[in-house]
Structure 1
């Protein structure tokens, strides 16, 4: 079985590398020459733990190649797996036409009995639209379409692909099962077979549920702050309730960022608007999250006071979550832009980010955690990199002018919460 993985950013590169790891012959296809050149040298276009190692292994074994030539890649494969990351604009609106156009580009080169798997994050109904487009263009060809919603977890992408809880597979008829079974059996035996639209909808439902869980937990924590309760203690009581469960997504802290969860919530609210449906709960998710995004800045303003322009702030963590070097939609970047309006000096450190947007050229990127703390008036922890837990109270006391730490998710609580010489501020504790 030969597979073409089409669209090589985070999802696609992981998919191609992992399929080659499982013994398949894989050709990775992408229109970006720079991306392809790097991949052919075993270098992923972005950071993901273990990914370069898997790429190198596939290349050395001869099971993995990369190209920009759509005709050679698509015309000789059994499966085309579409894995483009769907672009998002500043208003969380997805550019779904970008992905549609890339899929349509393959139509002229597909041979009979090719299967197209779509894992790109698209709104429910997209695959039916692609099927109609194909029939209008190539009605004489036998091509089937399938939906396998992506399960990408940045920072844990290799593990989540190779050892998923289950794989949701959306198909039109049971005749597609044997070839999909051959493809997925080396990865998981837990296949959940559903209709195409149900598979598309399942991804929206999951991400919307996770988004609602986050904003719910943060709203509860906000109330805890006002009534002298501890949101972590409240969380622990909920986890012992069988109707909630110990693995529930209810840890209060940062707002969600990065665009992935917001994109699916927006897909659902847009569909509801088109269908004239009342969905007050889902409509409240993004506004609630936006309020939470401002918590760090509001607390920083309170600490800095009216003399902010004479003070220095250190920021730990720039990527939008651990395990990636992506700063797209990063709360940290938004926070820095807000802080600069106060006139403060800012230094920052992230173990994987070494380039900032051009408009943040005045921010000093430090080489270590300790460097960020030197002569700062306020230290703000944003991204929960494990490296940051090495930060000691003595370092803060010796390096900072007056040790004040804002740690929204209480990531450093075990080492700092009991230190009387440090003003340690977390979210959700009265």
Structure 2
């Protein structure tokens, strides 16, 4: 068989990163979107997403990928991934209208022998309900991680594949494409694959919540979670890659969507979902950590305080602000002036009546009474605590992700607070 010709429909984060990775694997690839201005922008090298290494990967393999909004370009494709990002609302419920419309468009503009793969995150039952007579429509679990998309797309751990008959041979074009990545293939029924992605995120959420719960206890009893986590990673039943870093709740939208899906399905089918609801409640509690610390240490006594915020994205190496703890904090500080800086997100993303955009990280700390480092951008790790102490008016620094060196922060006279350790742990 000749090498299959690949297309990805939907040039948002998932589709774009996946298409460039396919080209990097040596396949003639089409990045398709119905928005001609978007495909023209991408073709010119102006990518609408921020991912470390993605621009370089595209430049290196530009000769194997085209971008188009012309439906005719889909006609000669053997394998077409339907891969738009699926938006969610504030409660984690997916809006499936966009992927439905794009799937219909792809079916109308591809040959009957083309294999159609739904790559976007969808609830169990979605793919089976969209079957068309005479067409091959299957499902593949996406494993995109914001800030690590290039790594995840070019070096996948495994492919989880949803099939009408998991015991039958995979469509030839699909199998040939997947085998080029050299990782295990796990075929299963459609609903199992759709639920597998949700299961992975539920397990990750449970791990994160365990870390957050015990890290908070560390803050009260004088223990330090950073000393405990390595012991768990050396336990074979947990492992070196476990999600054990405490954080400000769940964010980004994907895990929250899957928790919401499980709660909705549990309500429909009468199953117990109390563990999932406990995870959601713990996430909301932990996301409020910075506000609680600010009020306890400063705002209750200093009504005229000024606050600096470093980081607006929900995590480093992305421009996404979905469920960002930083933006939630800024919205809660409406009564106090705030200075903010993020290397990828404009300060206008914050909802606040007195929000000033800082020109850089040090500028965000200038003359403030407290500084909250809400996103662990790598460049923030270059900040010297002594420099912060010199330009801040106050001394309170909230650093949930341990961006700064704690001993240096205390040595500089800062009131340094982080997740998983009491305020006195590093000074004792």
Instruction: Answer whether TM exceeds 0.5 for this pair.
Output: yes
Residue-by-residue CA offset, 1:308-366 (whole Å, 9 max, x unaligned): 542211111111111111223211111111112xx211111112223523744742222
Distance 1:305 1:360 in 2: 17
Answer with 368-377 or 356-365: which moved more: 356-365
CA RMSD of aligned residues (A): 1.9
Unmatched tracts of structure 1, length 5 or more: none
Distance change >3 Å, CA 359–CA 224, structure 1 → 2: closer
**Stretches of structure 2 lacking an aligned partner (at least 5 in a row):** 423-428
CA distance in 2: counterparts of 1:107 and 1:12, whole angstroms: 17
Change (3 A) 1:106 1:189: same
Offset of residue 69 of structure 1: 2.7
- Once residues 386 and 421 of structure 2 are traced to their aligned partners in structure 1, the CA distance between those partners, rounded to angstroms, is 24
Give per-residue Cα distances to partners, 1:176-234, cap 9 Å, x unaligned: 25322211222233222222222111100001111111112111122222323222223
The 1:345–1:77 alpha-carbon spacing in structure 2 relative to 1, beyond 3 Å, is same
| Residues 1:317 and 2:320 aligned together | no
Matched, 1:261 2:261: no
The answer for the alignment partner of 2:359 in structure 1 is 367
Residue 356 of structure 1: SS of its match in structure 2? helix
Partner residue of 1:390 out of 372, 382, 406: 382
SS at match of 2:26: coil
Aligned equivalent of 1:407:
399
Deviation at 1:367, TM superposition (A): 2.1
Tell me the residue number matched to 2:288.
294
Is 1:377 aligned to 2:369, yes or no? yes
What secondary structure sits across from 1:111 in the alignment?
Answer: coil
Which one is further off, 358-367 or 382-391? 358-367
* 1:64 aligns to 2:56 (yes or no): no
User: What does residue 2 of structure 1 align with?
Assistant: 5
* Maintained 8 Å contact 2:333/2:352: no
2:249–2:282 Cα contact (<8 Å) kept: no
Deviations 1:137-170 (A, max 9, x none): xx3xx32122211111111111111111222222
The equivalent of 1:108 in structure 2 is 108
Q: Which of these residues, 264, 272, 281, is aligned with residue 278 of structure 1?
A: 272
Q: Which residue of 1 aligns with 2:426?
A: none
1:411 is displaced (CA, Å) by 2.8
Q: Is the 8 A contact 1:317 1:384 kept in 2?
A: yes
Deviation at 1:75, TM superposition (A): 2.4
State the alpha-carbon separation in 2 of the partners of residues 33 and 363 from structure 1: 36
Shift in Å, 1:74? 2.8
Match of 2:121 in 1: 121
1:50 aligns with 2:42: no
Q: Output the CA distance in 2 between the equivalents of 1:315 and 1:93.
A: 29
| TM-score scaled by length of structure 1 | 0.92
- Counterpart-to-counterpart distance in 1, 2:347 and 2:355: 11
- Render the CA deviation track for 1:354-412: whole Å, top value 9, x for unaligned: 35237447422222211111111101011111111111121012111122111112232
CA distance in 2, matches of 1:246, 1:183: 31
Distance 1:64 1:355, change over 3 A: farther
Conserved 8 A contact 1:416-1:424: no
Query: How do 1:156-235 residues align onto structure 2 when only pairs under 5 Å count?
Result: 156-173=148-165, 174-235=168-229
**In structure 2, do the counterparts of structure 1 residues 308 and 414 end up closer, same or farther at CA, with 3 Å as the change threshold?**
closer
Q: Is 1:40 aligned to 2:43, yes or no? A: yes
Please state whether the residue corresponding to 2:309 is helix, strand or coil: strand
Q: What do the CA deviations read for 1:42-91 (whole angstroms, capped 9, x no partner)?
A: 121121122223333443x1x22222233x13322111101111111122
Query: For 2:85 and 2:353, how far apart are their aligned partners in 1?
Result: 28
> How many residues are treated as equivalent by the alignment?
417
CA contact (8 A) 1:348 1:372 kept: yes
Give the 3-state SS of the residue equivalent to 1:27 in structure 2. Answer: strand
1:30 to 27, 30, 33: 33
Aligned partners of 1:347 and 1:364 also within 8 Å: yes
Structure 1 runs, 4 residues or longer, greater than 6 Å off = none
TM-score relative to the length of structure 2: 0.92
Residues 1:353 and 2:356 are matched in the alignment: no
Q: 1:145 aligns with which of 131, 137, 149?
A: 137
Q: Note closer, same or farther for the CA distance 1:217–1:7 as it changes in structure 2 (3 Å cut).
A: same
CA distance in structure 2 between the aligned counterparts of 1:212 and 1:326, rounded to whole angstroms: 23
Q: CA deviation at 1:246?
A: 2.4
Cα contact 2:385–2:404 (8 A) shared by 1: no
